[in-house]
Amino acid sequence: MPKKGSDPLVHFKAQDGDRTFDMDGPESVVWKFYREWKKDGEVPSHRQREAAQLTPPPAANARGNTSQLTNEEAERAFLKDDGGIVSLCGVPDTEKAQRDLLLALLLGQLVMAGRDRVFGAVLKRGAVQTGLNIKRIDYYLNTCSYVNTDGIGRSKSYGLNKEGVRRATEIVRLVLKGKRG
């Protein structure tokens, strides 16, 4: 949960006839622009959207687990595409590379997108974009002590616990050390 008084990040999409409203950002800002769109029929300009989204997402999940990564490290380590999929700049060179990649991607979702719970399909797409095809996310994360899970089957979501955030931060820093330039 966001801190009391903070504005949670949301994605909102609406369609009215042939007009479409689609925006990510702080909840109060998205609703403000949506009300203007409904009233005036105009979508906010790109500059207005950028200005509204200058507030970085909180790097803490609902249980208060915070990342130790600096903003610079996060920007060097993670890429976020237009669809909200977060990928890592490289595959971890560790004994359990698949599991460690998934932990790093969970941290990336937390830091870059403000999501503390992530569905397996989103993690899988992030892993593919990073360069590792993982067929079954649950094989690596169901027995992992760094991860909390909710749901069953396709609706299962994953999130990092305190130790998971610490371990994922270590993994990201190892990947960054291996990356030159």
pLDDT digits (tens, 9 = 90+) for 127-172: 999 999 898 998 999 888 999 998 888 888 999 999 999 999 999 9
* Whether residue 17 sits in one domain with residue 75: no
Q: Which long-range contacts (CB under 8 A, 24 or more apart) does 119-123 make?
A: 119/154, 119/155, 119/156, 119/157, 119/158, 120/154, 120/156, 120/157, 120/158, 121/154, 122/84, 122/85, 123/158
* Whether residue 88 sits in one domain with residue 174: yes
Position 181 scores a pLDDT of 36
- Residue 36 in this model has a pLDDT that exceeds 70: yes
* Whether residue 37 sits in one domain with residue 121: no
SS3 31: helix
Task: For residue 174, give its domain range.
Answer: 71-178
Residue 39 lies in a domain: yes
